[in-house]
Structure 1
């Protein structure tokens, strides 16, 4: 006898499985956070505990929750895995035929790609760790404690420790994905971003709601500058702008362009079990990948400039590649647009979609199947990507513009890529929690 399913919502408080998943997630995140306080050997702990005046690593340090500038054993986090995932995904575009074959082999091929991604991530972690250690040892800021027995093996040993930290982070992310809430990699990134939030609020309050004290070097007199109404207005204004940006990001991340689809030989979509037959395309189909690519490319020269010391080379590198300078700011915007179009068309293949629609006897009303359908989808995707790239660019440059206008502390980020990641992960996690609190009841149609 035919049966119908009815979805019934269940109270989250009464769902023991959900509580276990949440507790596991919190436990794994606490373990990950404890790694922040374990410094790499051979580094001056007093220097590290004193804090850095300004992070040398930009957005990469934000994603690691400050572990990178703290030179923690988990400094690299899962960033090498993210890079490796992107590289493997790009290589599947007929660049390496074997990888393309694996991608079409189902679960077995997916498992092979996952293993390859992990091995590549560990290799990248070792290279990045070795580069960081060598750069720190050559710097003059006193963080690296030199010894007479230093040799190449010392640097390799420290790089292997950082590689082990990345491997541990990958293990934690797998456990969170399997037994916790949400995607493990995404949860670690979000945890790193949120870990910097208390310091941001503290610095914002200290800059505008706490009286400032200045000392005259010549006379030695101390002057206290009281908090003015303008400072309070700036503080409230920054918080309101942050709230408006969050609302805008939530709206844009959920925005879609639906292309109507009809099926040949079917009088209506209802007969096929479809009440709304359409092809949804996200407005921001590239997600934050373009901003990460652009930030990474520009951060490499500026990070090198911070380690090589003062000189003409450092000055020119910062002028050209720093996003706070006019040339670097323009390059940042251009790269975001370029990577947005590249990654969007990488994620959504109009020719493949047109071919799949034709195999299913489906078509877009008013558009012929085949090449015309592919061309139509390409035009729609181009327009959507233009809007999505503009949205990404605005969110990415708002922190820079705000720092110019209000002279905000370097730790205060109004908007930025981190906000997009946090909102995106929060929306996906909310969907998972909702599905966990729903249960299906099956009843016979005649009962």
Structure 2
């Protein structure tokens, strides 16, 4: 089984990460959080399609959103409301099936209308109610169906509803993505939970597709915002499936509970990082048509940001991804991708490993067992290596202190099949 605490280097201390242990419950594992997921009829498939999260009174919330110029109205509405309520949002409605992006003025009007209707039912100020949408771009939400689903959705709210919510936000995903951790901090139990969705159109430039984090420790808005930004950069912003950033990418993180003393904030961030990275890797692993997870670690550059940039460039290379799928140890594609990442380094200092196999040293190729290297990938692509499905690449490009990690997946013909006739 994969080590859930395999944090990217230097993100947080491994000692602090080890304080946390996995628990069940996902988004609603933290005390006081409720969620629900129902089948409202928004999808023709008849699968669950409407979810709701309700945070306890006094919650703080921060969000990170797509930087795309073409984005859904709900993204701007969420950002605007978080500013208006000074990070005191308490609820988010999530519909799947329709992205409600590129739908003109209707997109915003519909989002405002449904959040007002939900705010009335929850007896909250409308500024504290957010909305996220996912699905086909250019398709508005059928409002009669959505509005009719609000009453049963609110009635379904439960402190055990995390799994139902995680299932209701999916589109082309093959699996639900939820995770939770628990630790003893300051003499009390603290829990962090999360859920996410994403499979295709994955190359976030802020957070990821749709992601949600919950925590039952009280944290100031400023501290929470700073913490979540650092976590996002080392998790959701470190994945790629196909190089396409979505119009609806949003991450919302809620914290509510007894205030946590300052000396425990670093440990809290370690747990938040572990949850976020687990969810991010689950998205990359579930990439459309993927058969394995690709993990790239880069060391030796001047800074962590630069290292992460090289790592994600390698993960996003179609040539690297197809070579992994074909179990071809064609290492030239890896170093070529690193060279176009826009980060300066000395090619003569490059060392490269594929799993346990070293392929380069001091910028020159080394003799290696090509069949064994291919077998290393094959076992992970076809699932015969049951304990892990991760193909690991390690690249050292100098003696700088910067390091970073990124995650992606292989590229198969199934990706083309899934996306070629997505709306037809």
Please classify the TM superposition score into its range, dividing by the shorter chain length.
under 0.3
**Which structure has the larger Rg?**
1
Q: Give the structure with the larger helix fraction.
A: 1
Between the two structures, name the one with larger relative contact order (CA 8 Å, sep ≥ 6): 1
TM-score for the superposition, normalised by structure 1: 0.24
TM-score for the superposition, normalised by structure 2: 0.25
Q: Give the structure with the larger strand fraction.
A: 2
